[in-house]
Homo-oligomer: A and B are copies of this chain.
Amino acid sequence: MATVKDIAKLAGVSTATVSRALANPQKVTDATKLKVQNAADQLGYAPNAIARSLRTQESKTIVVILPDIGNQFFTDIIKGIEQIAHKNAYKVLLGDAGNDVDRATKYLDLVYSKQADGVLSLTADLPIDKLVDDNAQAKFPLVMACEYYWDAAIPSVHIDNEYSARLVIESLVQMGHYKIACITGASGNSISIARMQGFRDSMRKWGLQIPEQYIVEGDYSLLSGYEIAAELLSLHDRPTAIFCHNDEMAIGVLKRAREIGVKVPQQLSVVGFDNIPFCEYCTPELSTVHQPRQLIGETAMKLLLNILSGKKPNPEITLPTQLLIRGTTMPPPLDQRLKIDI
């Protein structure tokens, strides 16, 4: 492999000039620029990014911590991140945590070992003391997307989960539903907590009860939706609607309902969250909350870029969502319909 030294020799200049000619051509005569360029081409020169990193103390790489690469939801977010990153000459290292805190934490080492300049985390399932100091300030360039911490000053990009959940419940109540169950994400999950809050607030506003067994904890997988639906649908007082905290679980519910002969949406309304591509390919098509995923990724990356260049970024950005009523929701059977004056 050719190095700057080889080019210097061939072009008859110093290594300093080679470096300048390649990186800052305006700092060099046209003649030398040409000489160096030719020599570099002739030798098939490829700069050693490792050596450059060591010298400049930056890797031009950021690491994205992904809760689970198997989750469709993150696809467009990553596309958004990559687009902005590449446009700004940053490389993206994707770290899949496989839903494991320790694996996720491991990726932070890349910053300390100087292989990455910053972190864009799509999970808040990380030990907070590794991220922030005693003043709740981030220890290194860090941005959160989708998830966030309540108690730390980490810049983050997310939707209004509480409000979006209220939209869902309002819509169901307007249709006449009052027996509404909910399948959540893991118990500590910040997103799920906010959606739960929105759910509870909305129900309280209408003076509606939530039986304890109507709230069940899932794990965002197809299977958990499928299994929990079995419980929910065999309840003595069966819910007429199920609000799932993501689309995968909702799709699991649809399958179970089909198998045990509960008609969707006539006997059961189902709402998901995220609007992954498969929603429109379900039978019936899944009602859900659309998130501007690509925009979330782009915005988060721009925030990180700001931090990386030394600017103080806005600490928090909230992006809009949209309730999509499709085929899995309709008013409940007449005898189970809420009677209120609207």
Contacts of A110 in B (CB 8 A): 91
Q: Does A228 contact B (CB under 8 A)?
A: no
The tally of residues in A whose CB lies under 8 Å from a CB in B reads 42
Of A157-165, A172-180, A249-257, the stretch lying at the interface with chain B is A249-257
Query: Does A79 lie within 8 Å of B96, measured CB to CB?
Result: yes
Copies of this protein chain in the complex: 2
The answer for the CA separation of A254 and B280 in the assembled complex, in Å, is 12
Q: Does A49 contact B (CB under 8 A)?
A: yes
Q: Does A206 contact B (CB under 8 A)?
A: no
Contacts of A82 in B (CB 8 A): 96, 98
Q: Which of B51, B93, B251 contacts A93 (CB 8 A)?
A: B93
Query: Does B75 lie within 8 Å of A251, measured CB to CB?
Result: no
Q: Does A314 contact B (CB under 8 A)?
A: no
Query: Does B79 lie within 8 Å of A69, measured CB to CB?
Result: yes
Query: Does A75 lie within 8 Å of B69, measured CB to CB?
Result: yes
Q: Does A329 contact B (CB under 8 A)?
A: no
Query: Does B94 lie within 8 Å of A49, measured CB to CB?
Result: no
Contacts of A251 in B (CB 8 A): 278, 281
Q: Does A234 contact B (CB under 8 A)?
A: no
Query: Does B115 lie within 8 Å of A49, measured CB to CB?
Result: yes
Query: Does A54 lie within 8 Å of B46, measured CB to CB?
Result: no
Q: Does A283 contact B (CB under 8 A)?
A: yes
Contacts of A278 in B (CB 8 A): 222, 251, 278
Query: Does A113 lie within 8 Å of B46, measured CB to CB?
Result: yes
Contacts of A78 in B (CB 8 A): 69, 96
Which residues of A1-50 have CB atoms within 8 Å of chain B's CB atoms? 1, 46-50
Q: Does A70 contact B (CB under 8 A)?
A: yes
The answer for the CA separation of A222 and B285 in the assembled complex, in Å, is 14
Query: Does B113 lie within 8 Å of A47, measured CB to CB?
Result: yes
Q: Which of B46, B53, B94, B98 contacts A50 (CB 8 A)?
A: B53
Closest Cβ of chain B to A2, distance in Å, is: 10
The answer for the CA separation of A70 and B91 in the assembled complex, in Å, is 19
Which chain B residue lies CB-closest to A255? B281
Q: Mark A74-102, 1 if CB is under 8 A from B, else 0.
A: 01101100100000000101101010000
What are the 10 closest A-B residue pairs judged by CB atoms, nearest first?
A: A46-B112, A94-B94, A49-B113, A70-B75, A283-B283, A50-B114, A50-B53, A50-B54, A255-B281, A48-B114
